Each structure stands twice: as C-alpha cells, then as structure tokens.
Amino acid sequence: MPVFDFSDTPNKKEAAVCTYITFASNEKIKTPQEPILVLDNEERAWEHHSTGVFTNQSKRTAFEFKEKGETYTADIRKVDARFVSLLKWLGENHISVRLSGEHTEEGYAVYKIRETTLGGGTKLSAEDGFLQFMIERLLASSAPAAEQEEDDVDETGDEMKLTSIQSISDFMTCAGRTMPDNIRIWARRNLAVARSHEVSQEERRHAQRALSMMMNVQWKSNYFEAIDPKEARRILDEELYGLERVKQRIMETIIQINRTHTLPAYGLLLVGPAGTGKSQIAYAVARILKLPWTTLDMSSINDPEQLTGSSRIYANAKPGIIMEAFSMAGESNLVFIINELDKAASGKGNGNPADVLLTLLDNLGFTDNYMECMVPTVGVYPISTANNKEQISAPLMSRFAVIDIPDYTPEEKKIIFSRFALPKVLKRIGLKPGECVITEDGLDAVVAQYADTTGIRDLEQAAEHLAANALYQIEVDQVSQVTFDAENVRKLFA
C-alpha cells in the first residue's frame, strides 16, 4: 500500500507511516455514507467545504487544511481503492482542492473533490474540468480485484528524453488501471514516443493522436445489467407493428442476457425486402440494451483499409471506421449496426471488406493498423441488415443468428398507415386529426396504389403527400376539414 510522501526533502531515516486502509466500492455516486475518503476529525471538526492540499511533510498520509491563514493536518483513515492513485497524484503535484464532506462516526467523510485556485496550489496543466473527468471515469470503473504493484519497468517505454503531453500522462497516472492491461502497456509506450525527441515530428503527432483516441474510450467489462422484459416488449411494440415472430426472437435474446449477464455468442442478421423496418429493429434493440450504437454502411466501403485504418508510416495515415466508432461512442460496449451486409464482398480495393468483419464478429479482439493495438470486442453486439442472404458468404452467415423479415400484408399496411404513418405526419406538420380524414375506401385506395412495392416507405411518402395537400387546402382555400375518399386519393396520386 503506497504512502503519500510528498515532502520535497524527506527524512529518509524516519519510517514511512501509512495511516489509511482501502475499501472496495462500485458505487457510481459518492455520498457521506459511501465516501471517496475519510479523514481524521478527532482533534478538530472540519468545515463542510474545506480547502487545502494532500501533503506529507512528516511522512504520513494526510491532508493539509487551509483555514483563516492557518494550516491544520488530518491523517487519511480510509480511501476508496479506485482513488488511491488520484490522491497520490494530487499531492505530488501540490494541486489545491476543495473537499466537501460531513462528519460521521468514522471521521470526516469526503464525497466530493474539486480543484480550486485558492491556497497557492498548482493549477492542473489540462483545461478546466479535467479533474472532474478523471473522477467521473474512476466512479464509472469497478473496484480493483486486489492491490496493484507499481508498473513494471518495461511499461514505461524506452528511456527516451521526454517532452510533455501532460493531460494524457496525468490520466495514465490516475486512471490507467481502468484500462485493459494490453492497452495500458500500449499507451505507456506510445506516450514515450509522443514525448521523445529521438523520433520524427510526424511519429510524435501520430502517437499523440492515437493516444487521444484510446483515452477517449471507456473500456468496460463484458458484464451487462439485467433488462426489464416488459420494458423491452413495450419498446418493440412502440417501434414495430406486427412481426410477432421477430419480436419473439429478440425477446429470447433479452432473456438470455438476463440469465448470463453477457451478450449472445452470435449477433443478429435481419434479412428482408427494402422498407420492412430492418434498421428500425436494430435501433430498437440498441435502445433496449441501453448501449450506444454506430452504423457501418457496407455499400459505401470499397477497401478493407477503410475499416482497418492505414499504417502510421504514411503522412496522411488515419484510423479506420471501426476504431473511430469506438472513439465516437466513448465506450467499448456498443451496438454495431452493419447495413447491407450482402454488399460486403464487393470490394474494389486491395482486398475484401467482408474478411475484416470476420475479426470484429468473432469477439476475440480487433486490431487497427493505425492504432497498432488489439482492442477488446467482447462488448460489441453486431446487428446486420441485408436484402438478399444468397449474396452473403458462408463464413459471414455463420457468425449470425438469421431472422427473416417478411413483407407486410395489405391489412397490416392499412393499420400501419392509419395508426402510425399518417398520425405521425399530421403531428409533425401541426395538423389536428380531425382536419385530415381518410375514409375506409380511401385507405384501400392508398394501399392498392402501392400493392406492387415492398415495405412501408412508399406508404409513409403517401401520408406525407396527403397531409401536405390537406394543409394546403386549409391554409389557401380556407376549409376547416379535408376528407380523402377513394376518388380523391386516385386523383391525388394520378
């Protein structure tokens, strides 16, 4: 357990004293009952908001309060194990902070730490809010399984002369343990490159860019909280009409996640005609899982390098779409919605984009050529859409649970148009339901007009046309209500 020795001239003959114990906590919100740390208050009652620095002039783990020009010291009694490195870093850099706490039976329980300019302490090198960013990241992490030893020598990168990219370095010092081991080691080596004068400016720039992207991602575990089946079903019914077999298959997946708290081994492949709501189903699943989502449109990807990124040996090198998706999402657990998977094998560059997807779909880790590091993909849930599964290769198909999406029947189209499509358009353009009315035979005429088309996109466009025409008559012809029967519908769409 480290002792916070921040003295500039420590007395090496005096034994170091660690006054605190650590405790494991997974709480995301800190309170006096679940504090960040507890300070000794036996000799003095500290104010609710107190300012000072973490210090150790007498080789004890302590906090130095500044009150009305006087200085008082209180030993640290308890620390949330996730925050030990942060407190050590705050003390080593003499950063003045304001503690918010309450007096409890254990001591002065601190539940909030904020940077302050008072007290003559050092300001953070990063822009304002950086300390809060680190605290939020630590709160989002899980308690460490055991006390960690100091980093090995080979994690520090080569012994190069270093320049400063301080915010990344500070984050690594305080929250480096929130990242997977291989990424933490990778980050330290790239930090050494970014600081070094022994490599080219271009190499330093690439290293810093890669570090910035990697630090932006919160690398979560593959544990998923239970999902309320009733709420999941409500979302599916809200987003989709009919398709009971499809909804049942999705609910089976939800129940599986609830039992295992992990994602299924296979993603979902939704196959069906255009306009049948495949993408809408994918978005609904992401909403149910409460995960961020990103889309990959395979029809626009002609070269595998678009997915894997380019090597840093090129001046214009950049990460691939998949790594950028992690960075944009800000976390490693997300839903990858892969549109038009049946177009994945039509690469026109130096390889087949479909082969790159195999690595992502196996959930064994993905390596981006620009990042030069394998990132974990155990929290990635792929959901693909396709119009024709005959054009999908066997290796790709084997990575998915296939769900065939049927086209809607004429009766289903009537219900979707009258209950969902038209009311949605009327609400958007500000019309009341009584101002635009469609009769039963008018509804039959609309569905018959698009009997030869698949899906409901044409019906949604028809609803837009009807509503716009009704709005025009109300505003220009000054009518109070517009009714569309079969004859009026045929005239409008003629």
81-102: per-residue pLDDT in tens? 999 888 888 888 888 888 999 9
Residue pair 368/323 in contact by the 8 Å Cβ criterion: yes
* CA angle (38, 121, 84) in 5-degree steps: 35
Predicted confidence (pLDDT) at residue 41 exceeds the cutoff of 80: yes
CATH 3.40.50.300 fits 229-404, yes or no: yes
**How many whole angstroms separate alpha carbon 125 and alpha carbon 167?**
7
Residue pair 313/347 in contact by the 8 Å Cβ criterion: no
Could you tell me the residue ranges of all domains in the chain? 21-124, 153-216, 229-404, 410-492
Predicted confidence (pLDDT) at residue 245 exceeds the cutoff of 50: yes
Topology of domain 410-492, per CATH? Helicase, Ruva Protein; domain 3 (1.10.8)
Return the structure tokens found at 335: 């839903």
The per-residue pLDDT for 39 is 92
pLDDT above 70 as % of the chain? 88
**How many whole angstroms separate alpha carbon 343 and alpha carbon 106?**
63
Q: Which residues contact 299 (CB under 8 A, 6 or more apart)?
A: 339, 340, 343
Q: State the first-to-last Cα distance of the chain, in angstroms, to the nearest integer.
A: 81
336 C-beta neighbours (distance < 10 Å), count: 24
295-342: per-residue pLDDT in tens? 888 888 888 888 889 998 888 899 999 998 888 888 888 899 998 888
CA 194 vs CA 154, 180, 189, 266, 334: distances in Å: 17, 21, 9, 39, 29
Residue pair 194/211 in contact by the 8 Å Cβ criterion: yes
The contacts found for 178-182 with CB under 8 angstroms, 24 or more apart, are: 178/137, 178/138, 178/140, 178/141, 178/218, 178/219, 179/214, 179/219, 180/219, 180/376, 182/373, 182/374
